[in-house]
């Protein structure tokens, strides 16, 4: 069952064509990785899924929502889709637990007790049960990113989008964040992630899509990494990125 579908999506910023007829489909429970050079349109594709960007042409459906429809219920879409970025954007004056409980309390009307239970559950999920009372500045970058993931999980989304969530982290901290994501994947979460972590894409992703010049250049399972069909993907994989 497809939970995300893009059909012939076009998007330009002024004269710059960023998405040039992008189509792909993500099934429930899939871990869908998007790779490609900087500027190839990966983040824009992800942002269009959550309607952080509007598309010029084409169609996007996410969890039954017609994202490109003017009558879209944006609030409901955002409840179904969690998104995590490279920058964690935690509130510095709130503890980890308070950061996490905020949206469920205010956007989902959870009671204090429900929010507390949720917070405990998602903190355990990202391996930070002992950091509930810590402020962001008392946490490492990797821990802050795990809190940001927990904050998204606390909204109980149907799908999670990740945009280069480990790019700002050193290798050791990257590993702990990738482990949390691999656990989520193993738990059946539907995930779309833009990543430079080729080994994660190869080992965890069910499908990997290579974007080039705003197009879906190549798409496949883990075997794609051993047998790239296009010269562009061959070159990309060989460049050590
Ligand atoms: P990627 O994530 O693959 O690096 P992006 O989707 O972020 O690529 O960007 C694709 C192209 O679109 C880049 O040339 C970028 O500079 C441009 N771009 C992205 N967002 C905007 C924006 N809001 N306004 C103008 N240009 C943008
Ligand atoms: Mg990007």
Percentage of residues in the chain having pLDDT higher than 90: 94
- How far does residue 195's CA lie from ligand 2's centre (Å)? 9
Q: How confident is the model at residue 239 (pLDDT cuts 50, 70, 90)?
A: confident
Alpha carbons 222 and 234: distance in angstroms, whole number: 14
Q: Which ligand is nearest to the CA of 14?
A: 1
What is the separation, in whole angstroms, between the first and last Cα of the chain? 32
- Using the atom order of ligand 1, give the atom closest to the CA of residue 47: 6
Residue 119 near residue 97 (C-beta atoms within 8 A)? yes
- How far does residue 130's CA lie from ligand 2's centre (Å)? 32
User: What one-character DSSP code corresponds to residue 41?
Assistant: S
Ligand 1: residues with CB < 6 A are 13, 16, 18, 36, 38-44
User: What local confidence, expressed as pLDDT, does residue 107 receive?
Assistant: 87
Helical pair 171-186 and 141-153, crossing angle rounded to 10 deg: 20
Q: How far is CA 18 from CA 22, 189, 220, 240, in A?
A: 10, 28, 22, 24
Residue 95 near residue 138 (C-beta atoms within 8 A)? no
User: What local confidence, expressed as pLDDT, does residue 240 receive?
Assistant: 54
């Amino acid at each position: 069952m497809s939970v995300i579908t893009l059909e012939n999506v076009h998007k330009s910023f002024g004269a710059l064509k960023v998405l040039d007829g992008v189509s792909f489909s993500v099934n429930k429970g899939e871990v869908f990785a998007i790779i490609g050079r900087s500027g190839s349109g990966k983040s824009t594709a992800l942002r269009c899924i959550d309607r952080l960007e509007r598309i010029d042409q084409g169609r996007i459906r996410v969890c039954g929502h017609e994202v490109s429809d003017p009558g879209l219920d944006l609030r409901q879409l955002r409840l179904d889709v969690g998104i995590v970025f490279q920058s964690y954007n935690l509130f510095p004056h709130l503890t980890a637990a308070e950061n996490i409980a905020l949206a469920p309390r205010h956007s989902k009307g959870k009671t204090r007790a429900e929010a507390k239970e949720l917070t405990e559950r998602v903190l355990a999920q990202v391996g930070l049960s002992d950091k509930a009372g810590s402020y962001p500045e008392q946490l490492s970058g990797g821990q802050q990113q795990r809190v940001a993931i927990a904050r998204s999980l606390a909204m109980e989304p149907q799908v999670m989008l990740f945009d280069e969530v480990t790019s700002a982290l050193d290798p050791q901290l990257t590993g702990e964040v990738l482990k949390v994501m691999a656990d989520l994947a193993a738990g059946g979460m539907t995930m779309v992630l833009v990543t430079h972590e080729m080994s994660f894409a190869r080992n965890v992703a069910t499908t990997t899509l290579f974007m080039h010049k705003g197009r879906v250049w190549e798409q496949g399972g883990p075997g794609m990494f051993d047998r790239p069909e296009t010269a562009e993907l061959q070159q990309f994989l060989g460049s050590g990125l």
